[in-house]
Structure 1
Amino acid sequence: MGAVTSSMAAKFAFFPPNPPSYGVGVDAVTGKLKMTGVATRENVDVLKLCTRRGNTIVAIYIANPSASSTLLYSHGNAADLGRMYELFSELSHHLRVNLLCYDYSGYGQSSGKPSEQNTYADIEAAYKCLVEMYGAKEEDIILYGQSVGSGPTTDLATRLPNLRAVILHSPILSGLRVMYPVKRTYWFDIYKNIDKIPLVRCPVLVIHGTADNVVDCSHGKQLWEHCIQKYEPLWIKGGSHCDLELYPEYIKHLRKFIVVIERPPYKKTGSEPVPDQLDRPRSSTDFREKPRLSMDLRETLRRSFDFKEKPRISTDHKEKSRADKKDKSRKSIDRSEKACNGAEIPERARNSIDRFGEMVRSVGLCHIDCFRPKATHA
């Protein structure tokens, strides 16, 4: 029964556009790869990346000369690079970021078949491309996962402790929870984001439409509640699963988030190097136990620290001193919360992107990121 349910979840999750909306060829003049069926831009590189599972995936890298961060975008269902191409260009321009996006195995012109494990290998290949080919640093990379893309995004984020940030757009709690109102995680489930999100150490922004009839808004809200570093979420009133980019508050909130995380205390400097964890093999799709042990270790250290604090019951003078320190700590936290909520964001930056909603209307987003083929409306 478990295997049958797992198969149902996998089939429900993946709907690559057929036929693909673009082709890949070689430019006769430059000898470089190019996409056919979309506008040619000088700041766009077309790439073919090999994954550890033997597939070749297509990716595009959009350079922005004023960028200090790089967005690694994992798109949703019923979409491929051709359908998302114009939107990606607008995001790179208005958010002032470099942007790398890729097609999953079996999507667009990528080889192989869609599966949970293949998407994990796909995003790893895209991340390694950013680091090795474009010199991006982990602390300057923002992972963006839309709908099904929230699965590989959250999974990779658990293994990259120095990430700048994570953005989850209409995310899912897990594959099975999209179909059934289950309250626990089963071994045969896919994309167990609800179990993995507590291991993400960087700031997380969650965006979800309140009228989403494909992935209920409760998915986004529960994930946000389990985040360690919560950033002010965006619940778009009346937004559905496929049209959040058309709301003006979408790009405004994203821009505010980028501005906040690109300055202290969010911006990390001199981060300690960590071992490459991408090459560790997965034995199953189940939630990995090793990071969970590290959380238990931290809890043990906290208990040990609390034990040491107990004997320090002393005179009124010391108690008063400790109370003063707590007050200072609270003030410090309040200031951090103010920064987290994006206080004092330059108004000019917001005004410069107010017309973004009108621009993306011309792109034709009605088929972007749907779990199942269906008629949608703007």
Structure 2
Amino acid sequence: MNTLSVKDLCCLFCCPPCPGRIAAKLAFVPPEPTYAIMADESGARWTLHLGEKAEWQYSQRELDSLEMSMAQTSKGSRLACMFVRSAPSAKYTLLFSHGNAVDLGQMSSFYIGLGSRINCNIFSYDYSGYGASTGKPSEGNLYADIEAAWQQMRTRYGVNPENVILYGQSIGTVPTVDLASRFECAAVILHSPLTSGMRVAFPDTKKTYCFDVFPSIDKIAKVSSHVLVIHGTEDEVIDFSHGLAIYERCQHPVEPLWVEGAGHNDVELYSQYLERLRYFVAHELQGP
């Protein structure tokens, strides 16, 4: 998510504001694609080709293990999807909705490292207009995108909902909360969540207006799964108060992780991040 100038704010919220434009200004900054995917002759298998900006950190063996596919959304976009089998014995798969200004190429090394450390496989996708996905980013497409990814993960790879942890980071918490409010899953992880678009732009906003976007604060109470909220106390993009407000509205929250001194983009660098995720997966979600 990017910082708004006074000029931007004036354009956004005058006579009356357009929700689509608010969403675009607040959230969507697709990077230049850092990867490409190519289909074989049958069109059933896809090969991943990473560019230099993807900053790949592993060997060709790990690269070859990344399974790519394309999913069709209800709004006509074709989404690039990535399945990272980083933990063959894993009970759970994270459906990971990444943050803004990155794509699957840039996230691929992180996914391998994260999955292997917390014993989870990871299924992720690029939003419409990001990476190799077609279409344009919008609030409506965010919701259609994650539902298409959910269906792809279930039908193509046979992952059952009771084995899925929905993980959203930053703008990725928006589709994550929306999907979790409509479908059952094992658990939800919200990493640096926002309450709504207006509340990010205008911190004193106390209610949800009809033209607001990304109203996660009004959907989180409908989520019946256990929810882990993670937020840096010095987040300069989405204030820590957003994470706290989301946590307080959860039906079934677990102990949150407030990372003292962390900002918006460095929570993962603190040791308690992996420690909390490991404990959540290995103990709080495991039945007797």
1:207-234 CA distances to partner (integer Å, 9 max, x unpaired)? 0001111000000001001111010100
Secondary structure of 2:171's partner? helix
Q: CA deviation at 1:42?
A: 3.7
Identity of aligned residues (%): 45
Aligned counterpart in structure 1 of residue 100 of structure 2, from 77, 80, 84: 77
Aligned counterpart in structure 2 of residue 11 of structure 1, from 8, 16, 25: 25
- Aligned counterparts of 1:36 and 1:6: Cα–Cα separation in 2: 33
Q: CA deviation at 1:196?
A: 0.5
Using the size of structure 2 for normalisation, the TM-score is 0.87
1:297-329 CA distances to partner (integer Å, 9 max, x unpaired)? xxxxxxxxxxxxxxxxxxxxxxxxxxxxxxxxx
- Aligned counterparts of 2:18 and 2:138: Cα–Cα separation in 1: 15
Q: How many residues align?
A: 263
**Structure 2 regions of 5+ residues with no counterpart?**
1-14, 51-55
Matched, 1:54 2:76: yes
Secondary structure of 1:191's partner? coil
Contact 1:209 1:241 survives alignment (8 Å): yes
**Structure 1 regions of 5+ residues with no counterpart?**
266-378
- Aligned counterparts of 1:56 and 1:238: Cα–Cα separation in 2: 39
1:24 partner letter: I
Contact 2:233 2:262 survives alignment (8 Å): yes
- Aligned counterparts of 1:171 and 1:150: Cα–Cα separation in 2: 6
Q: Which residue of 1 is the match for residue 214 of structure 2? A: 191
Secondary structure of 1:258's partner? helix
Matched, 1:233 2:246: no
Q: Which residue of 2 is the match for residue 86 of structure 1? A: 109
- Aligned counterparts of 1:8 and 1:232: Cα–Cα separation in 2: 33
Q: CA deviation at 1:99?
A: 0.8
Aligned counterpart in structure 1 of residue 274 of structure 2, from 221, 245, 251: 251
- Bigger-Rg structure (1/2): 1
- Aligned counterparts of 2:189 and 2:263: Cα–Cα separation in 1: 18
Secondary structure of 2:261's partner? coil
Q: Which residue of 1 is the match for residue 155 of structure 2? A: 132
Secondary structure of 2:95's partner? strand
1:227-255 CA distances to partner (integer Å, 9 max, x unpaired)? 11010100111101011111111011011
Aligned counterpart in structure 1 of residue 123 of structure 2, from 86, 100, 103: 100
1:161-195 CA distances to partner (integer Å, 9 max, x unpaired)? x3110000000001111101210001111111100
- Aligned counterparts of 1:42 and 1:67: Cα–Cα separation in 2: 19
Q: Which piece of structure 1 moves more, 2-11 or 251-260?
A: 2-11
Structure-2 change in CA distance of 1:186 and 1:131 (3 Å) = same
1:249-273 CA distances to partner (integer Å, 9 max, x unpaired)? 10110111111243227xxxxxxxx
Q: Which residue of 2 is the match for residue 169 of structure 1? A: 191
Secondary structure of 2:79's partner? strand
Contact 1:73 1:144 survives alignment (8 Å): yes
Matched, 1:212 2:225: no
Contact 2:97 2:124 survives alignment (8 Å): yes
- Aligned counterparts of 1:223 and 1:235: Cα–Cα separation in 2: 13
Q: CA deviation at 1:25?
A: 2.2
1:32 partner letter: R
Higher strand proportion, which one? 2
- Aligned counterparts of 2:39 and 2:153: Cα–Cα separation in 1: 22
Q: CA deviation at 1:5?
A: 6.2
1:236 partner letter: V
Q: CA deviation at 1:52?
A: 0.8
Contact 1:172 1:215 survives alignment (8 Å): yes
Secondary structure of 2:17's partner? helix
Contact 1:6 1:188 survives alignment (8 Å): no
Using the size of structure 1 for normalisation, the TM-score is 0.67
Q: Which residue of 1 is the match for residue 67 of structure 2? A: 45
- Aligned counterparts of 1:232 and 1:148: Cα–Cα separation in 2: 22
Q: How does 1:1-378 map to 2 (within 5 A)?
A: 1-4=15-18, 7-17=21-31, 19-26=32-39, 32-37=45-50, 38=56, 40=60, 41-63=63-85, 64-160=87-183, 162-181=184-203, 182-264=205-287
- Aligned counterparts of 2:261 and 2:137: Cα–Cα separation in 1: 31
Secondary structure of 2:29's partner? coil
